[in-house]
Structure 1
Amino acid sequence: MSEKTVSLSRRRFLGGMLTSAAAGMIGPSLITGKAFAAETKAADLTGVTHWGAFRARVVDGKLTEVKPFEKDIFPSDMLMGIRDDLYSPARVRYPMVRLDWLKKRHNSDTTQRGDNRFVRVSWDQALDFFYEELERVQKTYGPAGLYAGHTGWKANGVYHNCIAAMQRAVGLHGTFVKKVGDYSTGAAQVILPRVVGSTEVYAQQTSWPLVMKNAKNIVFWGSDPIKNLQAGWSTPAHDVYGYYKQLKDMVGAGKIRAISIDPVVSDTQAYLGCEQISVNPQTDVPMMLGMAHTMYTEELYDEDFVYDYCEGFDKFVPYLTGESDGQPKTAEWASKICGVSADTIKSLARTCAKERTQFIGGWCVQRMHHGEQWAWMLVVLSAMTGQVGLPGGGFGFGWHYNGAGVPTRNYVKVPGFTGSAPNGKPKYNGDFGKFSKTIPVARFVDSMLEPGKTIDFNGRKVTLPAIKMAIFTGCNPFHHHQDRNRMIQGWQKLETAIAIDHHWTATCRFADIVLPATTSYERNDIDGFGNHSRRGILANRKIVEPLFEARNDIEIFADLCKRFGQEKTFTEGRNEMEWLEHLYTQAQKGAKDKGIKMPSFAEFWGGEGYFEFDKASEKLWVRHEAFRKEPELEALGTPSGLIEIYSEEIAKLGYEDCPAHPTWMEPVERSHGGAGSKKFPLHMQSCHPKDRIHSQLSGAKGLRESYEVAGREPVYMSPADAKARGIKNGDVVRVFNDRGQVLAGAVVSDRYKDGVIRIFEGAWYNPAEGGKIGTLCKNGDPNVLTRDLRSSKLAQATTAHTALVQVEKYTGPALKVTAFDGPEMVKA
């Protein structure tokens, strides 16, 4: 099963899902760029997703056809998974309760969690259980015993926000433990405010027209926008791909030099036809230091910018030159670690210093042990060029997210349903005692296993609460978190776990109470079209009536609130359509203040269901330009108001794993000669997939079958690594280390550097023996193999990309993937 074979299989799937006219348009490449207006009929219903807007055709109450929204000329292939997602066998159909929990409640045998045996109950029974457990936990343990703070990529829509609904309802009952940070950018979002005064990672970037007009070089450092820009937090318009088409032409014509620094040939590199510098995994910081050393010793850096706009460069230089530790950070030194020749490092440093260079940083590189150092060092490199705040120069960490770089229009945003009710007061407002109210999200399993432990986090002490009950909605922590064995141990400490979802994810299988939620296709809502571009507002029409006994989250939590007399406070006395009109009208009022004329709600909803803001209002913009022009009036949010190359505040913290300036520190395990590489020589990447949104759409059979190999998640590896292990395309292989083992289907590809493999995150965990620690995962969940280790005391972030493994051809008994079959329904 080569990459070419996978692509052909994908085309056959897409062709079968679309009408013949549309099938020829979407194809396997996202960058086709064709309109769909001719395919649309007035009767088609609009829908919204994280991967794009669509039109739906319904016959006799069933979804029969999906087409991309005609305003999106670069639609994602993922739209073709919608019908299978809606009608998936993995749908949660009824309220269900784990067998032993039903018998013994909070005294159940928690080692049985994950065995997939559930009893069907009525909605009233399930919500009674839910409420009774809220009461018991608040009375017995107080708010420190309840965790309802986890979040994830909820379904689109401003009203049906499942996380807001859950936190509003649970918050009306009592206070609870919340999380801070996220898994996507955990290290970067903590270090960057201390370096440049803002989180940066989710921010709008310099407008693409200005980049292409002014940049001579674009460096994609661990970033793959072509793959990742398919998705957005609101509904993406995919306008950004038009700029990548232009960039491709400019790269081909030699007008812009594009370089991808990545051990893998990314989709972006393949599309643009740009250069690659194949760095050894986790060694980007030595390469950066080698570049900085070259700029400094050859006097290529912008001395005026460094001293006018930066703080602490003089304290960083002794480390760079080796004066402080005896090791000059030369290109030759860096080359031995990162695998890139010294000449290449020096050449790139000279190019970036002499010519306008836009650094585009991704997020995977900071999801490593000491990931803070990479983000910090990319800022330092850019600062040394003196180009921060110039069009086509400087750094950015959000280019692959939300269509960054597309100019923003004059717009208003439709407000959403919020996580706190106006004038609402909790029934229980207990004392957290010695425990902290908030925890770093990547340490929530630690709270289950080590309650009372005090950890350092970003300059403060956090005492981990003793979590006894956890509620999850619109998220799947059995995809988010690392080290399945440790997770299962933590889950066994919980007395009650509740999951609200529309698919039987592993989180549902490890829950005690599972409630069936609707998909966005089964309810009405409103969403923005275009994220950073703010192109318009879309109606999300209910396409079909809720399947089985699914209910939307607002209904679920309103019914829960009824049990303690807070239903009206929760709903504010409005039903679904009244809420949508209320939220739309709020936006309409804001639009009037901005000189934007919007149709009435009746006209919007009863008409096309789409309103577009004026394209003529787009404004070109340069990130950090205001700071560059007026460093005193537009100071950064750092203590000095400047870019902090050396941080006095971090120095005061005294964290041994996060010094006061960017520093190379060996990760706990590293391939290509690093720690642990003799036993487990392969570095495993587990980056964002290109065929789903994290674990969403895994239940869409046709889409899944277009990329899976041997009926399971693929693992990608180099020809040399495959040959050395006797592995061929299509083989089932065992990927393993001391933390666990998974089965996957081999795809041999010359796009992968020797010593590097990839299993995309989001594969559903499918243990051979449910709930058993150490069991084999049949479906290739990479987090069976990852390490649950902090990035540093500063960020306490995930280190999913610090993972070494070995691969061998699987010769054991045939094991069928059962992750998508739903639960075993039993009688009490």
Structure 2
Amino acid sequence: MSIPHSSHWGAFGAVATADGVRITPHPDDPAPSALLANVPVAATPTARVLRPHVRRGWWEDGPGPDDRRGRDEFLPVAWDELLDRVAAEYRRVLGDHGPRAVFAGSYGWASAGRFHHAQSQLHRFSHLLGGAVRSSWTYSHGVGEVLLPHVVGNQEPLLSPTSWTSVEAHTDLVIALGGLPAKNSEVASGGITRHEVAGRLRAARARGAEFVLVSPLRDDLAAELGAQWLDVVPGTDTALLLAMCHVLLTDGTYDREFLDRCTEGSAEFLASLDGRTPEWAAPLTGIPAATIRDLARRAVRGRTMVTVSWSVARTRFGEQPLWAAVALAAMIGQIGLPGGGFGHGYASTGGVGKRAGTYPLPTFPQFADPLRVRIPVARIADALLHPGEPYEVDGRHEVYPHLRLVHWAGGNPFHHHQDLQRLQRAFRAAETVVVHEPFWTATARHADVVFASTTTLEREDLGAARYDDRLIAMGRVHAPLGQARDDYSTLSGLAERLGIGPSFTEGRSAREWVEHLYEQWRTGPAARAGITAPPYARFVADGEFRLPAEPAEKVLLASFRADPGRFPLRTPSGRVELHSRTVAGFGYDDCPGHPVWLAPDEVPDEEFPLHLVANNPATRLHSQLDHGATSQAGKVAGREPVRVHPQDAADRGLRDGQVVVLRSRRGSCLGGLVVSDAVRRGVVQMSTGAWFDPVAGAEAGVTCGHGNVNVLTRDVGSSRLAQACTGQHAAVQVSAFEGVPPRVRAFDQPGT
């Protein structure tokens, strides 16, 4: 019998057989993700942490900064013995230094389940101990999370933009900066039952919508959409947008009435366009001036949607292209009209542009955080390496806390973070690193304590997402492998030893919590929203519950456009701020008060002559299940693929399929070469998420032998405003690897 289950890349049924777990996509999914084929490997011992382990140096010598972290021997230990030791370390750190010395921010997409959400579990635990330092914002779209409230008053363009139904029905022209990549739309936080983005785009095209792709990668938009491809130089989107604004200004075709009625600071912004002509932008962007001028004029002829992918803003000065896109949409004058205006992140996940329920979903309560100390998520290495040092973010002057105990559950910073050699040094600066992991990821290998964790297949849970229309009764597919325990069990054991056990568990088992959360939701938020959900037993027997259908249409800022006085934005002016006096008042030269051109501060040169684009992978979610079937099928010569333009390959004597070395100012890695004219000349594309393999790298004389692109990227903030991730671009060189490539060891058990 198939057991219902869910993942961030789709709902499915699973059956445990003698030959392994068999996966069947949800029957209502019109386009199931190929990532489902990665799931069965989670039920095998490959790369699994099968029992708790400790690093020998920490176990024998005690806590403290240690350069052996990441290369030391691991010892298997008994659960009770390890829980006792970690509880004692918590008592030491809290007693000597207080909760500001503990980092329990975590970060990750460990499970689509609502109860076994690792961050919620860890935060509840830490809040009962007086709090801990946590992280703010995301690696994915940290720029938008900070900037958009200053410009439009909130994060609605991120969380609930104009719906796909509106775009499908009304948009004439989609200008897609960074594209609308189908691979990204296959995933959504919390799960996705129906993959519909590709079908929505096809329907818009069939109705007559036109698409313009602004990206150095041609396949950032499906070929079937017949898009015009503007193969922009990486990092120059802002120059293109400002030049388009200049055309509308000099042509006199911009919507002056909309600017006067609905924006603040338009005079300052328009004045700043002086000299920002298409002729100025052409040599920067690589796009001919005539093409820029034509695109600007097309944008005012019909209903136009300007969309910026999360990746475009995930760069140094990434605030600028996003703000400039809002400014262009304002000059076109269609913000608040069906199918018009701007968006941030369409197709960056499958949820963006879908329905968002107005009622809460079942959630494991975390209690209030007594400490309320946050650091920007992408600045974790700075905090570990520079305790007590000041920094600026979003107008505030802050100081990095001295983090001594790092407790990480549900995430893999050795995927998300940049400059991994620097992150290694940061992890070695901590006194104790505790990690919950099902797999021997690089994060586990750089820890002192590795609690063996279950995967979602070994647990019961509630699968749900604010953008989806199903609540899934996630059943347990197979028993835990080895001695693995879920995070709730591990934290319950620590809580009992630290005197907060009854408060943490409230006397419930994990199964009882799942039922409690469902019933609490069914009789509370669901009932108040007019939703009649069945009792828990019936829900489990049915396998799922269908939530209310998506609203017919959602138009971003429609009420504001209709009456700005009655429906003001939550900006100081109540309007769209093309120039923000607040941001200008911060005095940041790396993020002034309105969108401007700031030239990238790392560009190709003689030593590193190629632009690297480090985007999300097509064969997995982030680094999850990199050893799964789909991910492994995408490897080239056993390593992460590296795409290079045919002329760039010929200039270096490189051939398709060979192992190559990528180098930057930070580090180096091996990759498998793919020669492709879908990549702009002068650009190298390599996806994130290959498991960091410094062991194989050492054998090859490089930083990583498997192809983790984040050994090449920079660990610097977008600006002092957002301090967001800038991992999208770097300057690199590519050359042939000489000799016999080392065997990839990333999935081996430690010490083998």
**TM, length-normalised to structure 2:** 0.96
Q: CA deviation at 1:705?
A: 2.2
Match of 2:451 in 1: 515
Give secondary structure in 1 for the equivalent of 2:684: strand
| Separation of aligned partners in 2, 1:645 and 1:159 | 42
Once structures 1 and 2 are overlaid, which stretch shifts more, 405-414 or 539-548?
A: 405-414
8 Å CA contact retained: 1:331, 1:342: yes
Give secondary structure in 2 for the equivalent of 1:461: strand
Give secondary structure in 2 for the equivalent of 1:129: helix
Match of 2:287 in 1: 340
Give secondary structure in 2 for the equivalent of 1:807: strand
8 Å CA contact retained: 2:614, 2:687: yes
Dislocated runs of 4+, deviation >6 Å: 769-774
Report the AA paired with residue 567 of structure 1: G
| Separation of aligned partners in 1, 2:660 and 2:162 | 44
8 Å CA contact retained: 1:210, 1:391: yes
Match of 1:66 in 2: 23
| Separation of aligned partners in 2, 1:145 and 1:773 | 38
Task: Say if 2:401 is the partner of 1:446.
Answer: no
Deviations 1:573-611 (A, max 9, x none): 112232122111122123332332221111111x22111
Match of 1:751 in 2: 678
Once structures 1 and 2 are overlaid, which stretch shifts more, 799-808 or 143-152?
A: 143-152
Task: Say if 2:327 is the partner of 1:416.
Answer: no
Task: Say if 2:674 is the partner of 1:717.
Answer: no
Match of 2:237 among 284, 296, 300: 284
8 Å CA contact retained: 1:408, 1:619: no
Match of 2:572 in 1: 639
Match of 2:201 in 1: 247
| Separation of aligned partners in 2, 1:408 and 1:170 | 33
Q: Is there any run of 5+ residues in structure 1 with no aligned partner, and where?
A: 1-42, 322-327, 672-676
Q: CA deviation at 1:246?
A: 5.2
Deviations 1:770-825 (A, max 9, x none): 99999521011111011111211111112112310000000044311100112127
RMSD over equivalenced CA pairs, Å? 2.1
Q: Percent identity?
A: 36
| Separation of aligned partners in 1, 2:592 and 2:699 | 40
Deviations 1:54-97 (A, max 9, x none): 1112236x744111011212110110111112215111111000
| Separation of aligned partners in 1, 2:481 and 2:650 | 48
Report the AA paired with residue 567 of structure 2: E
Match of 2:9 among 37, 45, 51: 51
Once structures 1 and 2 are overlaid, which stretch shifts more, 493-502 or 172-181?
A: 172-181
Give secondary structure in 2 for the equivalent of 1:112: coil
| Separation of aligned partners in 1, 2:34 and 2:45 | 18
Q: Does the C-alpha gap of structure 1 residues 785 and 401 become closer, same or farther in structure 2, counting only changes over 3 Å?
A: closer
Q: CA deviation at 1:460?
A: 0.5
| Separation of aligned partners in 2, 1:130 and 1:363 | 38
Q: Does the C-alpha gap of structure 1 residues 261 and 233 become closer, same or farther in structure 2, counting only changes over 3 Å?
A: same
| Separation of aligned partners in 2, 1:131 and 1:745 | 45
Q: Does the C-alpha gap of structure 1 residues 667 and 88 become closer, same or farther in structure 2, counting only changes over 3 Å?
A: farther
8 Å CA contact retained: 2:158, 2:343: no
Give secondary structure in 2 for the equivalent of 1:57: strand
8 Å CA contact retained: 1:483, 1:739: yes
Report the AA paired with residue 54 of structure 2: V
8 Å CA contact retained: 2:49, 2:452: yes
Task: Say if 2:629 is the partner of 1:707.
Answer: no
Q: Does the C-alpha gap of structure 1 residues 537 and 769 become closer, same or farther in structure 2, counting only changes over 3 Å?
A: closer
Match of 2:626 in 1: 698
Q: CA deviation at 1:250?
A: 5.0
Report the AA paired with residue 424 of structure 2: I
Match of 1:655 among 582, 588, 608: 588
Task: Say if 2:315 is the partner of 1:379.
Answer: no
Task: Say if 2:311 is the partner of 1:354.
Answer: no
8 Å CA contact retained: 2:158, 2:352: no
Match of 1:35 in 2: none
Match of 1:593 among 528, 534, 539: 528
Q: Does the C-alpha gap of structure 1 residues 246 and 192 become closer, same or farther in structure 2, counting only changes over 3 Å?
A: closer
* Equivalence map 1:197-596=2 (5 Å): 197-200=153-156, 202-241=158-197, 244-245=198-199, 247-248=201-202, 250-251=204-205, 255-321=208-274, 328-404=275-351, 408=355, 412-420=359-367, 437-528=373-464, 531-532=466-467, 534-589=468-523, 590-596=525-531
Q: Does the C-alpha gap of structure 1 residues 548 and 270 become closer, same or farther in structure 2, counting only changes over 3 Å?
A: same
Match of 1:764 in 2: 691
Match of 1:152 in 2: 108
| Separation of aligned partners in 2, 1:771 and 1:474 | 28
Report the AA paired with residue 638 of structure 1: T
Match of 1:137 in 2: 93
Report the AA paired with residue 293 of structure 2: K
Once structures 1 and 2 are overlaid, which stretch shifts more, 764-773 or 655-664?
A: 764-773
Q: CA deviation at 1:145?
A: 1.6
Deviations 1:501-550 (A, max 9, x none): 1011100000000011100000100112x642x31211000000111000
Give secondary structure in 2 for the equivalent of 1:634: coil
Q: Does the C-alpha gap of structure 1 residues 796 and 67 become closer, same or farther in structure 2, counting only changes over 3 Å?
A: same
Q: Does the C-alpha gap of structure 1 residues 281 and 407 become closer, same or farther in structure 2, counting only changes over 3 Å?
A: closer
Q: Is there any run of 5+ residues in structure 2 with no aligned partner, and where?
A: none
Q: CA deviation at 1:273?
A: 2.7
Give secondary structure in 2 for the equivalent of 1:768: helix
Give secondary structure in 2 for the equivalent of 1:359: strand
Q: Does the C-alpha gap of structure 1 residues 338 and 57 become closer, same or farther in structure 2, counting only changes over 3 Å?
A: same
Give secondary structure in 2 for the equivalent of 1:354: coil
| Separation of aligned partners in 1, 2:434 and 2:121 | 15
Q: CA deviation at 1:734?
A: 0.4
| Separation of aligned partners in 2, 1:142 and 1:406 | 43
* Equivalence map 1:718-797=2 (5 Å): 718-768=645-695, 775-797=702-724
Q: Does the C-alpha gap of structure 1 residues 769 and 688 become closer, same or farther in structure 2, counting only changes over 3 Å?
A: closer
Give secondary structure in 1 for the equivalent of 2:63: helix
Match of 2:120 among 164, 172, 179: 164
**TM, length-normalised to structure 1:** 0.88
Report the AA paired with residue 353 of structure 1: V
| Separation of aligned partners in 2, 1:255 and 1:107 | 63
Give secondary structure in 1 for the equivalent of 2:320: helix
Once structures 1 and 2 are overlaid, which stretch shifts more, 631-640 or 45-54?
A: 631-640
8 Å CA contact retained: 1:740, 1:774: no
* Equivalence map 1:76-91=2 (5 Å): 76-91=33-48
Give secondary structure in 2 for the equivalent of 1:65: strand
Give secondary structure in 1 for the equivalent of 2:221: helix
Q: CA deviation at 1:410?
A: 6.8
| Separation of aligned partners in 1, 2:3 and 2:138 | 34
Report the AA paired with residue 498 of structure 2: F
8 Å CA contact retained: 1:240, 1:405: no
Q: Does the C-alpha gap of structure 1 residues 370 and 697 become closer, same or farther in structure 2, counting only changes over 3 Å?
A: same
Give secondary structure in 2 for the equivalent of 1:229: helix
Once structures 1 and 2 are overlaid, which stretch shifts more, 440-449 or 731-740?
A: 440-449
| Separation of aligned partners in 1, 2:365 and 2:603 | 43
Deviations 1:376-412 (A, max 9, x none): 0000000000000000100011322453466538775
Match of 2:731 in 1: 804
Q: Does the C-alpha gap of structure 1 residues 495 and 775 become closer, same or farther in structure 2, counting only changes over 3 Å?
A: farther
| Separation of aligned partners in 2, 1:730 and 1:174 | 54
8 Å CA contact retained: 1:236, 1:402: no
| Separation of aligned partners in 2, 1:549 and 1:136 | 27
Q: Does the C-alpha gap of structure 1 residues 404 and 513 become closer, same or farther in structure 2, counting only changes over 3 Å?
A: closer
Q: CA deviation at 1:213?
A: 2.3
Give secondary structure in 1 for the equivalent of 2:694: coil
| Separation of aligned partners in 1, 2:329 and 2:357 | 31
Give secondary structure in 2 for the equivalent of 1:97: strand
